[in-house]
Amino acid sequence: MRHTANILRLGIKELRSLWRDPMMLVLIAYAFSLGIYVAASAMPETLHKAPIAIVDEDQSPLSNRITGAFYPPHFTKPALIPLGEVDPAMDAGRYTFALDLPPDFQRDVLAGRQPTVQLNIDATRMSQAFTGGGYIQQIVQGEVSEFMRGTRATAPPPVDLALRARFNPTLAQSWFGSVMEIINNVTMLSIVLTGAALIREREHGTIEHLLVMPVTPFEIMASKVWAMGLVVLVACAFALLFVIEGILKVPIEGSIPLFLLGAGLHLFATTSMGIFMGTIARSMPQFGLLLMLVLLPLQMLSGGTTPRESMPEIVQTVMLAAPTTHFVKMAQSILYRGAGLDVVWPQFLAIIAIGAVFFLIALSRFRKTIGTMA
């Protein structure tokens, strides 16, 4: 009971210290509110209002038909420019696409001579350039085919493909972006808060006060783990209920309490990582540099940004030792697909095992650090 009381009181001390740190409070508030909203809405899910210019050197009914096929929301209203303005306009970044319809275009099409249409693409705008080229090719080919047939009616395809998009029927990018942002922020904030709490005590000299008190390194570390983990867990629940479901209207298919249980287990592992990193770094700038080396691989290689199946085999194997790999799989299964405990229990066990190993390693390092200070 004495150990439990010490852990409880030390954890309350950590919460009070965090309350007196306005920058950390701003970071938590931003990460679980505006940060999630920006991640969900900043990047359009499809080609959206891409600027396009058309050089119509033919001035025929077919060229006019092609020009009229580009309209919002995929493209802006096409700007009709002369051929000599294409390079200066592309150099200035005014247009992502510049389509050049050559002279005698309609006559060559009717004669079956297969004229060449030039499409200039500003490839530095990757999100639009990648999909926009395919859109424009389909539009031009479709308009030419309809012009040659003399009707917009299309022949039925020999095979009918029934497409069913599961778990995200509208293919909305906000559904994916918002949920993945909260998953990434749980990992980031838990490491930052625990590591910063330890470094803050070292910089303020309060760690020496703890050394003369009848408390053990286990109690000191456990108090930081539960206090900072609780803050992140409460912020995560708030973001799910009020930001994702409330403001963004993203439906959560699975059980939020089950997800929070898994997030709590994940926080046990990541807060231990934060303690370990806090014992290595001697100042907040060093901790920030170390955080970039650790956090980016955790987030980029865990399967949240890119499917793990598309990664090299060695990366897939190494990342099995990271708690984020199992947390991302568990969170996506629950929040996207409505999975229950009967589906995600392997991820729960993996996170518990990895968390226990990380906690023991961090505790050993923390004891050595405390010993050198003493």
- In tens, the pLDDT along 266-299 reads 999 999 999 999 888 888 888 888 988 898 888 8
Count of domains for the chain:
2
Q: CA dist 325 to 136, 178, 239, 294, 344, Å?
A: 38, 18, 22, 14, 13
| Count of all residues that appear for the chain in the document | 374
Q: How far apart are CA 330 and CA 262, in angstroms?
A: 8
Both 140 and 219 in one domain: the answer is no
Both 181 and 120 in one domain: the answer is no
Both 369 and 276 in one domain: the answer is yes
Range scoring the smallest mean pLDDT among 76-90, 162-176, 354-368 = 162-176
Domain hosting residue 101, numbered range = 52-149
pLDDT digits (tens, 9 = 90+) for 44-87: 556 778 899 999 999 999 999 999 999 888 888 999 999 999 99
Q: Residue 217, preceding bond cis, omega within 30 degrees?
A: no
Instruction: Classify each residue of 272-287 as buried b or exposed e, where b means 16 or more C-beta atoms within 10 Å of its C-beta.
Output: bbbbbbbbebeeeeeb
In a domain, 166, yes or no: no
In a domain, 156, yes or no: no
Both 211 and 332 in one domain: the answer is yes
Q: How far apart are CA 366 and CA 374, in angstroms?
A: 12
In a domain, 19, yes or no: yes
CB 40, CB 66: distance < 8 Å: no
Both 33 and 93 in one domain: the answer is no
Which CATH number does the domain housing residue 113 bear? 3.40.1710.10
Q: CA dist 26 to 31, 34, 249, 287, Å?
A: 8, 11, 24, 19
In a domain, 74, yes or no: yes
- Sign of torsion over alpha carbons 237, 238, 239, 245: positive
Q: How far apart are CA 149 and CA 140, in angstroms?
A: 14
Residues 6+ apart with CB under 8 A from 231: 15, 18, 28, 189, 193
* Averaged pLDDT of the chain: 86
Both 230 and 332 in one domain: the answer is yes
pLDDT at 43: 62
In a domain, 315, yes or no: yes
User: Long-range contacts: 82-86, Cβ < 8 Å, 24+?
Assistant: 82/55, 83/55, 83/57, 85/53, 86/53, 86/55, 86/120
In a domain, 369, yes or no: yes
The residue among 149, 181, 215 that closes a domain is 149
Both 194 and 294 in one domain: the answer is yes
Both 145 and 281 in one domain: the answer is no
pLDDT at 3: 78
The residue among 87, 116, 149 that closes a domain is 149
Both 103 and 189 in one domain: the answer is no
pLDDT at 98: 93
Both 281 and 316 in one domain: the answer is yes
pLDDT of 151 > 80? The answer is no
pLDDT of 374 > 60? The answer is no
Both 145 and 232 in one domain: the answer is no
CB 205, CB 287: distance < 8 Å: no
Both 89 and 119 in one domain: the answer is yes
In this prediction the pTM is 0.76
In a domain, 155, yes or no: no
Q: What is the DSSP letter of 46?
A: S
